[in-house]
Amino acid sequence: MHGATCAIRGTFFDLLDDPWKYSGKEHEAARFIEDGLLVIKDGIIADFGPFAAVSPKHPDIAVTHLPDRIILPGLIDGHIHFPQVRVLGAYGNQLLDWLQTWIFNEELKYRDRDYAREAARQFFDALLAAGTTTCLAFTTSSPVSSEEFFDEATRRNMRVISGLTGIDRFAPADFCITPDDFYTESKRLIERYHRKGRNLYAITPRFAVGCTGEMMDSCRRLKEEHSDCWVNTHISENPTEVRSAKDHFPDCSDYTQVHEKHGLLGPKFTAGHGIWLSNDEMRRFSKAGAAISFCPLSNLFLGSGLFRLGRAKDPDFPVRLSVGSDVGGGNAFTLIRVLEEAYKVGMCNNTMLDGSVNPRDQDLAEADRNKLSPYRAFYLATLGGAHSLYLDDTLGNFNPGKEADFVVMDWNAGQLAMAWHQSLAISGSGPKTIEEAAQLLFGIMTVGDDRNIDETWVAGNRAYKKVPR
Amino acid sequence: MHGATCAIRGTFFDLLDDPWKYSGKEHEAARFIEDGLLVIKDGIIADFGPFAAVSPKHPDIAVTHLPDRIILPGLIDGHIHFPQVRVLGAYGNQLLDWLQTWIFNEELKYRDRDYAREAARQFFDALLAAGTTTCLAFTTSSPVSSEEFFDEATRRNMRVISGLTGIDRFAPADFCITPDDFYTESKRLIERYHRKGRNLYAITPRFAVGCTGEMMDSCRRLKEEHSDCWVNTHISENPTEVRSAKDHFPDCSDYTQVHEKHGLLGPKFTAGHGIWLSNDEMRRFSKAGAAISFCPLSNLFLGSGLFRLGRAKDPDFPVRLSVGSDVGGGNAFTLIRVLEEAYKVGMCNNTMLDGSVNPRDQDLAEADRNKLSPYRAFYLATLGGAHSLYLDDTLGNFNPGKEADFVVMDWNAGQLAMAWHQSLAISGSGPKTIEEAAQLLFGIMTVGDDRNIDETWVAGNRAYKKVPR
């Protein structure tokens, strides 16, 4: 598979910096090459730039030309549940009821190796069809699910982060794992998978409400003994959950403090949601270098609330952010649909922040940061996600030395109205300028869906090609 | 085309009553026929029921068998803008800025007959691909757009409601029409189109903020002189707009009173959105027999706010409701996506109504009415929409005597994860019970999109067949 040298010719768009730092001139954070060449060696980007400049340096290379497409770095999903691939979009209730009704039963099936293996195949197929090449994933409290997850990711040579998912209260008995078993099994899995191939390991307390202090202590020990590992959890998704966290950790003044007390809040820590975090908690996330994964598709589907994107992007205390599908709380795999909902969440926030309902809510600077331009959106889904995961040296754009994961987008695919819509954005048959490219990408993220993902490449190999359906 | 007698064999699902009246036993409001036969004569349903019972009564009829599909009445879009077919999903701002930036320029193109004709073709193609067979549509202030709309609908023999769309302030001069011209041109169009073929006419003040008292008086005269016509407008979409309505109609205590004062609020009156209506206004809508079109896709896209579905379904003062795509404020044509967002809006409302944020907001009865089960959802998109438009004698389910518009859904189509997801809902290869059918429909409305629309039939003729793309 990999090992070979190859090159891709086409139209490229990627981000070089955080566009929130470039208000009013966001295109300066991005790069657009109308006719570019991406040279790949052993799955790593060896060279990149305009075809006319790069091509002469590689005279004998085999070039795959992908015309009428726009090529972006592979999308990075910062929050997804592997064992919920089959129950996305389940009818329900808010978070805690929904877990009881739909999720616990399904996840228990993942103790069965055959079921988990079939699910892993379905899961990664769905991810690639969605344009996602990297994810930070929850599994279940059964090691079987983590093993099948990593084994399937290994077969596909994908850059993934995951880990045994610990919960030891407020769930059915056979769904729980003891803090000791969690510690032992996590260590075994770290040895077996962490930094083997492209796998990375995340110590994963499911969410603090579902974890006793002893379980959180196991996580602390694991992080102390394996400081290179990631930490993945949930925080402040739902107001009832927030209350519950305070009830069950009475010595902590807020939900974030639970993670601070247990030595987890810091670099390589990601918590999903963060909808109900206070301003003070967001500042502590920022100072700690911890990340939030913004999951708007799920947050609307479960009615959890509106993440305060503009607040998290406070220039004085910026929080590292990824976007997450949160399948199955989220009802679609593709981050294209997640970006659509992220845009809507920002817009809904702004109808409060414009002060028209309550003059004291007016904050036009924060409102401006809520506006999800295509530069900001695709930053979150690529380089921003990589930055939030401390993987921006490895992933997120087409800089030489990074891993060659990318998606090939067809801007005209999707609902029937798409092509005529997109024709408004461009003067020719394809984008000629970075602004035209950004317009097409905005069309994709608002009117499009997974149909716009025509191909997905992993480490320099085509891993998915769309079959119309 | 029509005139012939034919029959469709397949699996049918429709609504016979409002499922909100059947809390806890909503299936009693619906009808499921696993192996049914729909007999159509001259575009009208002549007979309907189980194949075994109906078939012997029509021995020589040609039967089209549509296996592995679920057939529903054609979807009814209660709020859509014909001249925004090309600008759906435009980047922007809240309502009033968005109109200025994107919409006015595009709509001006519809003074050109060739452009309007091409747009009408695109519009109805997109509607049919979305499963929508009837719509209540805005046009522009240029009669050309209304003519091309009705002419194209006539060619397709579709049941549509539309009318010249009046605005005479707060818009570019060439976008406005004088109250006198609006009156004269509306009368001409009523004579030419109303009840010609399947066309119905709606007197259409765009929204009261954009209409002077004189324009509203023209609308009152038109309604007095043509009481059989519909009325279509917007109301209370955005808080700034609500304030503006009060400023510009200082003799009205609220937005609804503008329509009451001008004799418009009553049967066959539909206003889009109604997000910021007070409880008192909703009660007056209910008493007047006036309708709201709930447009969640647009409401989230423009950040307008969360429609209080459960409040509108107050059993003591129920408001007639349709769902609307509100293309181009809405970013997709299919009501499948609209129902997805409607579900989310209900869920977001409920995180407030559960009292966890503010105990005084707790209202569990209203919260229950916010929960959009598949019965409720597809009621809104079929029989409920027809009821809101006073067309439930003509459209909305498969009762003999009604017009034979229907959609043929493929429950497995859509994103790659769909088929495995749907397989959880059914015990066999298709739905065997009404509950299984409802589960599949919930899967379609949450995980699906226009790909689930396999065929769309208008007045007994196949008007759309999906081409995978």
Are residues B449 and B328 part of one domain?
A: no
Predicted local confidence at residue B451, as pLDDT: 97
Predicted local confidence at residue A94, as pLDDT: 77
Q: Where does a domain end: B334, B366, B388?
A: B388
Secondary structure class of B60 (helix, strand, coil) = coil
Predicted local confidence at residue A3, as pLDDT: 52
Are residues B340 and B236 part of one domain?
A: yes
Are residues B85 and B61 part of one domain?
A: no
Most A CBs within 10 Å: which of B298, B335, B416, B422, as the mutation test of the A interface? B416
Cβ atoms of A188 and A221 within 8 Å: the answer is no
| A130 part of contact set with chain B, CB < 8 Å | yes
pLDDT tops 90 at residue A90:
no
Are residues B117 and B128 part of one domain?
A: yes
Residue A393 domain flag: no
Residue B465 identity: K
Out of A306, A332, A447, the one facing B331 most closely (by C-beta) is A447
Which residues lie below 8 Å from residue A31, measured CB to CB, with a gap of 6+?
A: A12, A13, A14, A15, A16, A397, A398, A434
The CATH number covering residue A29 comes to: 2.30.40.10
Cis before B346 (ω within 30): no
User: Do A447 and B243 make contact, defined as CB atoms within 8 angstroms?
Assistant: no
| A318 part of contact set with chain B, CB < 8 Å | no
**Which CA distances in Å does B158 have to A34, B71, B77, B234, B338?**
44, 18, 13, 24, 21
Chain B residues lying within 8 Å of A238, measured CB to CB? 351, 356
Low-confidence residues of chain B, pLDDT below 70?
1-3, 469
Predicted local confidence at residue B99, as pLDDT: 81
Instruction: Find residue B65's DSSP bridge partners.
Output: B9
Size of interface A-B (CB pairs under 8 A): 163
Chain A residues lying within 8 Å of B94, measured CB to CB? 347, 350-351, 354
Are residues B435 and B312 part of one domain?
A: no
Cβ atoms of A438 and A30 within 8 Å: the answer is yes
Nearest chain B residue to A128, by CA: B416
User: Do A449 and B94 make contact, defined as CB atoms within 8 angstroms?
Assistant: no
User: Do B86 and A421 make contact, defined as CB atoms within 8 angstroms?
Assistant: yes
Cβ atoms of B296 and B275 within 8 Å: the answer is no
Predicted local confidence at residue A1, as pLDDT: 41
Q: How would you classify the pairing of strands B44-50 and B30-41?
A: antiparallel
Interhelix angle A213-225/A179-193, rounded to 10 degrees, is 30
Are residues B90 and B26 part of one domain?
A: no
Are residues A199 and A136 part of one domain?
A: yes
Nearest chain B residue to A121, by CA: B417
Residue A177 identity: I
pLDDT tops 60 at residue A2:
no
Helices (H), B56-157: 95-98, 104-108, 113-129, 143-156
The CATH number covering residue B113 comes to: 3.20.20.140
Q: Mean pLDDT across the stretch A200-214?
A: 97
Nearest chain B residue to A298, by CA: B344
Most A CBs within 10 Å: which of B348, B349, B465, as the mutation test of the A interface? B348
Distance CA(B209)–CA(B244), nearest Å, equals 7
Distance CA(B417)–CA(A334), nearest Å, equals 11
Nearest to B156 by CA among B199, B114, B190: B199
Out of A238, A304, A443, the one facing B89 most closely (by C-beta) is A443
Are residues B407 and B330 part of one domain?
A: no
Secondary structure class of A227 (helix, strand, coil) = coil
Write out residues 331-370 of B within 8 Å (CB-CB) of A: 331-334, 340-341, 343-344, 346-351, 354, 356-357
pLDDT tops 90 at residue A98:
no
Residue A360 domain flag: yes
Report the gap between the CA of A416 and the closest CA in chain B (Å).
Answer: 6
User: Phi and psi dihedrals of B263, rounded to 5?
Assistant: 65, 25
Predicted confidence band of residue A224 (pLDDT cuts 50, 70, 90): very high
Count the domains in chain A. Answer: 2
Cβ atoms of B411 and B452 within 8 Å: the answer is yes
Cβ atoms of A286 and A319 within 8 Å: the answer is yes
Secondary structure class of A431 (helix, strand, coil) = coil
Tokens 């977001």 identify what position?
Answer: B348
Are residues A69 and A82 part of one domain?
A: no
Out of B122, B129, B357, the one facing A420 most closely (by C-beta) is B122
Indicate the Cα dihedral angle A91, A95, A97, A100, nearest 10°. Answer: 90
Residue A133 domain flag: yes
Predicted local confidence at residue B90, as pLDDT: 83
Chain B residues lying within 8 Å of A89, measured CB to CB? 421, 442-443, 446-447
Cβ atoms of A335 and A302 within 8 Å: the answer is no
Q: How many CB atoms lie within 10 A of CB B357?
A: 17
pLDDT tops 70 at residue A95:
yes
Q: Mean pLDDT across the stretch A294-299?
A: 98
Are residues A404 and A366 part of one domain?
A: no
Residue B334 identity: T
User: Phi and psi dihedrals of A375, rounded to 5?
Assistant: -65, -50
User: Do B305 and A351 make contact, defined as CB atoms within 8 angstroms?
Assistant: yes
Residue numbers of the domain that contains A109:
75-388
Residue A294 domain flag: yes
Are residues A210 and A197 part of one domain?
A: yes
Of A143-147, A169-173, A404-408, B298-302, which range is least confident?
A: A169-173
| A62 part of contact set with chain B, CB < 8 Å | no
Are residues A194 and A159 part of one domain?
A: yes
Q: Where does a domain end: A388, A406, A441?
A: A388
Predicted confidence band of residue A450 (pLDDT cuts 50, 70, 90): very high
Write out residues 247-276 of A within 8 Å (CB-CB) of B: none
Distance CA(A283)–CA(A279), nearest Å, equals 6
Residue A354 domain flag: yes
Secondary structure class of A262 (helix, strand, coil) = coil
Q: Mean pLDDT across the stretch A251-260?
A: 97
Out of A125, A331, A416, the one facing B447 most closely (by C-beta) is A331
User: Do B449 and A449 make contact, defined as CB atoms within 8 angstroms?
Assistant: yes
Which pLDDT tens digit goes with each residue over A334-382?
999 999 999 999 999 999 999 999 999 999 999 999 999 999 999 999 9
Out of B89, B413, B443, the one facing A89 most closely (by C-beta) is B443
